[in-house]
Amino acid sequence: MGRSSRAARGPEPEATTGPGGRTHAQGPLSRPVGSGLAELRPDRDRPAAWSLLIDGAPQSLVDLADPTRLGFEYQRRLGHLIDLVAPPGRPLTVLHLGGGALTLARYTAATRPRSRQQVAEIDTALTELVRAELPLERGWQIKVRGADARGVLERTPEDSVDLVITDVFSGARTPAHCTTVEFTTLAARALAPGGWYAANIADGGALPFARSQVATLAAVFPELCLIADPAVLRGKRFGNLVLAAAHTPLPIAELTRRAASDPAHARVEHGRALTDFAAGAVPATDATAAPSPEPPPGVFR
Tell me the mean pLDDT in the region 124-148. 97
Judged by DSSP in three states, 55 sits in coil
- Residues 238-251: tens digit of each pLDDT: 999 999 999 999 99
**Chain CA centroid to CA 102, Å:** 9
Residues 88-97: pLDDT tens digits?
Answer: 999 999 999 9
Q: Note the pLDDT of residue 45.
A: 87
For the structural domain made of 67-277, what CATH number should be given? 3.40.50.150
Look up residue 164 and give its DSSP letter.
Answer: E
- How far CA 7 is from CA of 3, 50, 164, 193, 295, in Å, comes to 9, 11, 28, 39, 18
Q: Are 177 and 183 in contact (CB under 8 A)?
A: yes
SS3 52: strand
The rounded distance, in Å, linking the Cα atoms of 132 and 3 is: 24
For the segment 262-292, what is each residue's pLDDT rounded down to a tens digit?
Answer: 999 999 999 999 999 999 999 999 999 999 9
Report the alpha-carbon distance of residue 77 to residue 161 in Å, rounded.
Answer: 20
Q: What is the dihedral of CA 81, 86, 92, 93, to 10 degrees?
A: -70
| Domain regions of the chain by residue span | 67-277
